[in-house]
Structure 1
């Protein structure tokens, strides 16, 4: 379980040896590809894995990170002119604040100008970009204009393996995240009763998670109460009154103060469950076990997705049309993705959320748990029972 140290502002920091391991991996990655700089960006705290992997901190605003072949690291983010982007010592060579927000069109070039100043001091023949979908157009265009003659390459696909394969220390932190979600799930029956609004339940669950060591961005609690556990709804829509006979569909994914996510998806019945719910819940557990056994080194993410749909159609259920699982870590969702497209090859010590959807006779269940890839398949790290919980 997460431990909270009283009177310590910056909680749950990785060991210095863990950070040095990451930086060494990045330097070796760059040397193999002839890269002088790596550049990445985060814009919030949910899909911020690259910046946090390098520099420990969660991004509250736009944050740009530069890492050079010698290991010097630069962070550029919101703050007062001449000040620091962050107040913590996290191994930065340059800690640069700029006093604007990303929705100010006149400031499109500000961060890129600072990045160019840093890069030009050492020079750069070849620059690697990580997370092209996360890098804003204004920064990207102005960076390229400020570095004429520099070759830029997208290295995300290859770099993702460094992030996806977890170290022993990371797996320990991830088990803490799973334990926090387990504890929250065991408390849910005490928070649910007929006559209560969904958002009241959610507010209590959030508070409990905070007290147990959850961190910022507690936005991923989806809830739905209906007889057959209908589609999940985000906070704005959690306004239904829970009734006797309802199945409460709860997806709970929060980060710990160390920054790591877990995924817990469970169903709680207020009274006797519908027979249809019992049927799809049992099938969901069987399918999750089947997919976990397939998750061995050498298997591709899209192959797991194909196997999921093969199982569903063979057993008379609707096919999965989105994804049936994904990696996690500092990102709520990260590679590998178990969808129709991701070619990433599974390796030992990848951390997964496996959550196939099973639909039949109007009922829908998506049992979600965390696993770690081993030579013999993925082993479950979540401990909370997977069946329907009757309240």
Structure 2
């Protein structure tokens, strides 16, 4: 994969890839009789709803509204100058409507300027059956505008339809995903010279973020937790502990490369000789990671992997996982399928997934994270970072 760091727009995604995505989604829309799909993005770690279709990161101050029609290019509505566009024209590939207006999400009185254009567009296209994608993220006023102003409109949920398309990566996407893993490996390779006692967890995070941005990463989520015996990664806001000489560290790197694709990588660290209990927990975390990867074959229900993990944790006397321990990845940090009992998706070949099982008892935790690509024989680990406890 060639990435020109000095281009005006640094992104690995080709127009051919965007053509494929638009074509796949619009073919499914026609099959289902859906004339348009409402899309929204406002958070860089979960911006795939729009970035899947146009190479623009929707993580700014104000959200970006979009409608995918069953034919033609995308319609975008968002912040911009009067009589201008909402995204730069050079990025507006396969975009038919690029409407900008100086609106602010915190100022409701500005929203009619956006939504009046939305209604004009939907009426002009005579859309009567409209899909709602990621209803947990679609703004209420966006949906209400359609419901109140389009007579006879039918609103339908399309999460499963789009998520299944997004989850299976093309050959170009798989190449990008391998690059994502390479960048995570490069970041992790620099950490042994940075992890030292006497720093706050937050100081270490700041140094890691500098390395990531030097590698042109866009989205940054560095989660660190230090302690002894318990070390559990946590968000930046809480990273105020000073790392001690005998601490363990749970160090999770989650970043997106230029172009917006995410991955994640973590290991346990020990600033002194780890005791036998930590060695045992970490060994079990890696062992079940391998078991789960082998089970992640095409056609297997994603929910089955949670059952496998819980069986292992019960057998070894650990706390049962009460979140999801892995998921698909791409232009969102977390994509479906999730490894959760209520997930209805099946695993498929060429999904790019993370597997991060934790082993936890009453006072200690071990956690390992790697990225995988699902093949006919199971999930293959892509990261090259050595496994095991990192010792400083």
Q: TM-score with structure 2 length normalisation?
A: 0.96
What's the CA shift for 1:361? 5.2
Match of 1:346 in 2: 347
Q: State the Cα distance separating 1:4 from its structure 2 match.
A: 4.6
Residues 305 and 109 (structure 1), Cα distance of their counterparts in 2 relative to 1, 3 Å cut: farther
- 226-235 or 351-360, which moves further after superposition? 226-235
Displaced runs of 4+ in structure 1, greater than 6 A? none
The equivalent residue for 1:331 is 332
Say if 1:63 and 1:77, in contact at 8 Å, map to a contact too.
yes
SS at match of 1:181: helix
1:52-95: per-residue Cα shift (whole Å, max 9, x none)? 00112110231111121212211111112211101133221110
Partner of 1:200: 203
- The aligned counterpart of 1:288 is 289
- How much has 1:3 moved relative to structure 2? 3.9
Between the aligned partners of 1:252 and 1:229, the Cα distance in structure 2 is 19
Secondary structure of the residue that 2:123 maps to in structure 1? helix
Q: How many residues align?
A: 388
Q: 1:118 aligns with which of 121, 126, 145?
A: 121
SS in 2 for 1:224: strand
Once structures 1 and 2 are overlaid, which stretch shifts more, 225-234 or 335-344? Answer: 225-234
Q: In the alignment, is the contact (CA less than 8 A) between 1:312 and 1:358 conserved in 2?
A: yes
Report the counterpart of residue 251 of structure 2 in structure 1: 250
Aligned positions of 1:227-306 closer than 5 A:
227-306=228-307
Report the equivalent of 1:373.
374
Work out the CA distance in 2 between the residues paired with 1:99 and 1:210: 30
Match of 1:382 in 2: 383
Q: Distance in 2 between matches of 1:326 and 1:81?
A: 41
Q: In structure 1, what is the equivalent of residue 18 of structure 2? A: 19
CA distance in structure 1 between the partners assigned to 2:86 and 2:252 by the alignment: 34
SS at match of 2:81: coil
Determine the structure 2 residue equivalent to 1:106: 109
Question: Which residue pairs with 2:156 in the alignment?
Answer: 153
Looking at structure 2, the residues matched to 2 and 317 of structure 1 have their Cα atoms a distance apart, in angstroms, of 45
Quote the offset at 1:366 in angstroms: 1.6
Q: 1:140 aligns with which of 139, 143, 152?
A: 143
Structure 1 residue 146 displacement after superposition: 1.5
Partner of 1:358: 359
TM-score of the aligned structures, taking structure 1 as reference length: 0.96
Q: Please state whether the residue corresponding to 1:248 is helix, strand or coil.
A: strand
CA distance in 1, matches of 2:341, 2:231: 25
Asked if the contact 2:104–2:111 (Cα under 8 Å) also holds between the matched residues in 1, the reply is no
Cα contact 2:201–2:225 (8 A) shared by 1: yes
> Could you say what secondary structure the match of 1:277 adopts?
helix
RMSD over aligned CA atoms reads: 1.5
* Gap regions ≥5 residues in structure 1: none
